[in-house]
Chain A
Amino acid sequence: MSLHRIRLIMWKEFLQLRRDPLLLRLIFIMPIVQLIFFGYVVSADVRNLATAIVDLDKTAISRELEADFSGSGYFTIESYPQSEPELQPLLDRGEVRVAIVIPEGTQARLDRGEIAPVGIVVDGSDSRTAAVGSSYAAQIVARMNADRITQQGLALSGPGIDARVRVLFNPSLRAVNTMIPGLVAAILMLSVMAIMSQAVVRERESGTLEQMFVTPITRGEYLIGKVTPYVLLATLQMSVVALVGIFWFRVPFHGTVIEVAAGLGLFMVTVIGLGLLVSLASHTRQQAQQTVLFIMMPMMLLSGFIFPIESMPAALVPVTYLMPLTWAVLLLRGAFVKGVGFSAIVPELAVLAIFAVVIFSVALLATRRRLSE
Chain B
Amino acid sequence: MKAALARVGAVAGKEVKHLLRDPRILAIVLILPVVQLLLFAYAISFDVKNVPTVVLDQDNTPASRHYVQTYRSSEFFDVLGSADDLAQVDRLFDQNRVRIAVIVPSGFARSIDAGEKAQVAVLTDGSEPNSAQLARAYATALNATYGQQVLIEWADRQGLNPARAGSIEPRLRTWYNPEGRSSNFLIPGLMVVIIMIVTVQQTAVTLVREREQGTAEQMTVSPLRRGELMVGKLLPWTLLAFADMLVIAVISIWVFGLPLRGSAGFLAVSSVVFVFAALGLGLIISAVAPSLETANISGLLIAFLPAFLLSGFAFPLDSIPVPLQWLSYAFPGRYMVAITRGVFLKGAGFPELWPQLAALAGYALVVLLASSVLYRRRST
In-complex Cβ contact of B151 among A149, A166, A293, A330 (8 A): A149
Interchain nearest-CB distance for B18 vs A (Å): 10
Cβ-defined contact, B162 with A116, below 8 A: no
Q: Is B121 an interface residue (CB 8 A)?
A: yes
- B-contact bits for A266-310, CB 8 A (1 contact / 0 none): 000000000000000001111101110110011001100011101
Tell me whether chain B's interface is mostly helix, strand or loop, or mixed.
Answer: helix
Contacts of A45 in B (CB 8 A): 129, 133, 319
For residue A128, CB closer than 8 A to chain B, the reply is yes
Is residue A368 contacting chain B, with contact meaning CB distance below 8 A?
A: no
A149 contacts which chain B residues (CB < 8 A)? 148, 151, 162, 165
A253 to B161, CA, bound (A): 54
Question: Contact between B318 and A148 (Cβ–Cβ < 8 Å)?
Answer: no
Most buried by B among A144, A157, A289, A330: A289
| A135, B138: Cα distance in complex, Å | 6
A258 within 8 A of B: no
Residue B324 at the chain A interface, CB threshold 8 Å: yes
- Tell me the A127-156 residues at the B interface (CB within 8 Å): 127-132, 134-139, 141-146, 148-149, 151-152, 154-155
- B275 CB within 8 Å of chain A: no
Asked if B357 is an interface residue, CB under 8 A from chain A, the answer is no
Do residues A298 and B134 form an inter-chain contact, with CB atoms below 8 A?
A: no
* Contact assessment for A302 and B39 in the assembled complex, using a CB-CB cutoff below 8 Å: yes
Interface contact tally, CB-CB below 8 A: 403
Contacts of B72 in A (CB 8 A): none
- B178 at interface by CB-CB < 8 Å: yes
Q: Mark B107-130, 1 if CB is under 8 A from A, else 0.
A: 000011111111111111111111
A290 touches B166 (CB 8 A): no
Contact A154 B151 (CB under 8 A): yes
**CB-based contact A134/B174 at 8 Å:** yes
Is there contact, CB below 8 Å, between B46 and A311?
Answer: yes
Query: CB of B85 within 8 A of chain A?
Result: no
Task: Identify the B interface with A (CB < 8 A).
Answer: 22, 24-25, 28-29, 32, 35-36, 39-40, 42-49, 51-52, 67, 93-96, 99, 111-148, 150-151, 154-155, 158, 160-178, 180-182, 184-186, 197, 205, 209, 288-294, 296-298, 300-301, 305, 309-310, 312, 314-316, 318-321, 324, 338, 341-342, 345-348, 352
Return the 10 tightest CB-CB contacts between A and B, nearest first.
Answer: A170-B126, A124-B177, A110-B166, A142-B144, A163-B143, A161-B147, A124-B174, A135-B137, A142-B141, A160-B147
